[in-house]
Structure formats: structure tokens, C-alpha cells
């Protein structure tokens, strides 16, 4: 089994391990506690390999619990885009994988970082009030919005993307540190294949499929 963590996690993990090594000879109980913290940091920043469906489907951008599915306008409040989208909200607890993934193969049209509050990410109003990073992408002439939202504990959103970058479906797009939420906006014409309350896996769980779902047989590791 391959053990790997996101690059953002190494500095926390190494510092925690060094402090543990220094403390444990003098304060054993505290050292054990710090060792547990170090293990959790490694666990939190884990970056597992995922089997991404090859077919033209929309996959989940994150691991977590689906807390909302409904019709919404675009998250940028852009008057030039009057389309209605289906918004799928995924809540990531501190025990979920926090590496976010691209739901479709496409091109990044724009990236908008918006400062804000740090409300509980399970609340729907966090989509509008919390600190967030809005990624606007195009795939086969369809618009998609992926919104990384900081939560009650999260204090930093990291995005690895650049404008005009081509990204593969299931490709890593960033990470949100310590509890968060990801909103996916996809065209209203797409059928949703998940339900509220369902747990999803980033890069693997199929959110929507414009084609025949029965044709999906293959996947690739990424």
C-alpha cells in the first residue's frame, strides 16, 4: 500500500515529529500526546490514489457528506451568466480526505478568491458568507463552478490551478485545511445520480452522467 500525503502537510508533520522527539524524553505523557497529533496530521493530509472513471461523467470534487442538492444561480453573481445550475454541497469533516479533485476534464476560465467568515460549513449560508475560492471551468462548452469553502476550523484554502490551465477529470486541484465544504455547480440539464445524505468519494463517485450510466466499465488510477 502506497502511503503519501499532500505537499502542504509535510511542514506540519515534520515540525510535529521534531517537537515530539525533543519533548518525549522529558515529558513522556505529553510526548505521547504529541505523537498522536503527528499521526493525525499525517492522516489528515493523506492523498490516496483514486480510480477515476474514463467515460465522460461528472465525478465528486471531494470526499464527504452531501448536505444539499438544489437549483441555484452561479456563485459569482455574474449577470452575464443567467443560467440555472444544480448545486451539490459536500461537507468535509476533519476525518475526510481534504484533497480536492476536478469533477470533469476541462479548461480553467477564471479563479476568484473571496475573503469571508468562518461559519460552520454544514450551514448553507456558508456558501455565500465564508472565505471561499471559486473555480470557473468549461468542459464541452458547458460551464462548471467548483467552490472551495473554508469552515469553522479551516483557515486556509490552497489551489494549485492557473487560468487557462487544462485539467484532467479527477486531477488534484488543491486542498482545504482542517474541516471545510466544497460546492459543485453543474448545468441544470444534467441528471443527478446522488442523494442528500450520501457519502461520496472525490474523483470516484459519479455525480452525474450525460451518457448511458450502464456503459461505465473502466477507470484509471490517479
| Cα 73 to Cα 118: distance, rounded to the nearest angstrom | 22
Using CA atoms, how far residue 118 sits from 45, 170, 181, 210, in Å, is 21, 27, 11, 35
Residues with active-site annotation: 180
At 14 the three-state DSSP class reads helix
| Cα 101 to Cα 184: distance, rounded to the nearest angstrom | 11
User: Which of 21, 15, 143, 154 lies closest to 98 in space, CA to CA?
Assistant: 154
| Cα 91 to Cα 197: distance, rounded to the nearest angstrom | 10
DSSP structure string for 135-165: EEEEETTEEEEEEEEE-SS---EEE---TT-
| Cα 48 to Cα 97: distance, rounded to the nearest angstrom | 8
The secondary structure of 84-139, three-state, reads CEEEEEEEECCCCCCEEECCCCEEEEEEEEECCECCCCCCCCHHHHECEEEEEEEE
Amino acid at each position: 500500500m502506497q502511503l503519501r500525503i499532500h505537499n502542504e502537510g509535510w511542514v506540519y508533520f515534520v515540525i510535529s515529529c521534531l517537537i515530539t522527539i525533543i519533548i518525549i524524553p522529558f515529558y513522556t505523557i505529553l510526548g505521547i500526546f504529541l505523537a498522536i497529533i503527528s499521526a493525525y496530521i499525517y492522516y489528515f493530509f493523506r492523498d490516496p490514489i483514486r480510480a477515476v472513471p474514463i467515460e465522460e461523467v461528472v465525478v465528486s470534487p471531494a470526499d464527504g457528506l452531501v448536505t444539499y442538492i438544489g437549483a441555484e444561480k452561479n456563485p459569482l453573481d455574474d449577470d452575464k451568466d443567467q443560467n440555472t445550475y444544480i448545486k451539490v454541497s459536500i461537507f468535509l469533516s476533519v476525518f475526510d480526505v481534504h484533497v480536492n479533485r476536478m469533477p470533469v476534464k476541462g479548461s480553467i476560465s477564471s479563479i476568484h478568491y473571496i475573503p469571508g467568515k468562518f461559519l460552520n460549513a454544514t450551514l448553507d449560508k456558508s456558501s455565500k458568507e465564508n472565505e471561499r475560492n471559486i473555480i470557473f471551468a468549461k468542459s464541452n462548452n458547458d460551464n462548471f463552478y467548483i467552490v472551495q469553502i473554508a469552515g469553522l476550523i479551516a483557515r486556509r484554502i490552497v489551489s494549485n490551478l492557473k487560468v487557462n490551465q487544462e485539467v484532467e477529470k479527477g486531477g488534484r486541484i488543491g486542498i482545504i485545511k482542517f474541516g471545510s465544504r466544497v460546492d459543485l455547480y453543474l448545468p441544470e440539464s444534467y441528471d443527478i445520480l446522488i442523494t442528500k445524505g450520501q457519502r461520496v468519494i472525490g474523483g470516484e463517485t459519479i455525480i452525474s452522467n450525460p451518457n448511458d450510466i450502464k456503459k461505465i466499465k473502466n477507470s484509471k488510477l490517479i
